[in-house]
């Protein structure tokens, strides 16, 4: 069986319906609401910004006589400046013999000392912090 061509009026009707569908689709597409353009992906350049990459270490206390500034700043209430003062005090006066000697470092008062007392030690073996 061979397919017979459609009569002209039916072909015209099919073409008219197809044209109407295409036109209505184009109108719907053209009049639809478009979302706001996304934020531009421009690089952000920050100057004078310190980027800190956290590092994890044992939960043991920090040895005041061997700790670097990077280790000391992890203690609560101890920033870059105060950590630098601790290291400078250690270099100038020798190793700490007691945790309480931290009070001699400018900027460390009784409150900060009590906050860090359980987190520091004065020997490199990591024994429990001294209380005197």
Where do runs of H (alpha helix) occur along 1-132? 8-31, 69-72, 80-93, 110-116
> What local confidence, expressed as pLDDT, does residue 78 receive?
93
What pTM does this model have? 0.51
Q: What percent of the chain has pLDDT over 90?
A: 51
For 12-38, b where at least 16 C-beta lie within 10 A, e where not — what string? eeeeeeeeeeeeeeeeeeeeeeeeeee
Task: Please give the Cα distance from 3 to 28 (Å, whole number).
Answer: 36
Question: Both tokens of residue 49?
Answer: 């910004």
Q: Could you give the domains of the chain?
A: 46-132 (1.10.150.320)
| pLDDT band, very low/low/confident/very high, at 131 (cuts 50, 70, 90) | very low
């Amino acid at each position: 069986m061979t397919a017979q061509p459609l009569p002209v009026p039916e072909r015209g009707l099919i073409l008219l319906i197809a044209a109407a569908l295409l036109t209505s689709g184009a109108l719907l597409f053209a009049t639809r609401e478009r979302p706001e353009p996304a934020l531009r992906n421009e690089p952000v350049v920050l100057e004078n910004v310190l980027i800190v990459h956290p590092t994890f270490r044992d939960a043991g206390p920090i040895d005041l006589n061997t700790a670097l500034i990077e280790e000391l700043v992890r203690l609560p209430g101890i920033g870059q400046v105060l950590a630098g003062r601790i290291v400078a005090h250690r270099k100038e006066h020798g190793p700490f013999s007691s945790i309480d000697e931290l009070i001699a470092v400018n900027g460390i008062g009784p409150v900060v000392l009590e906050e860090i007392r359980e987190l520091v030690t004065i020997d490199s073996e990591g024994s429990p912090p001294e209380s005197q």
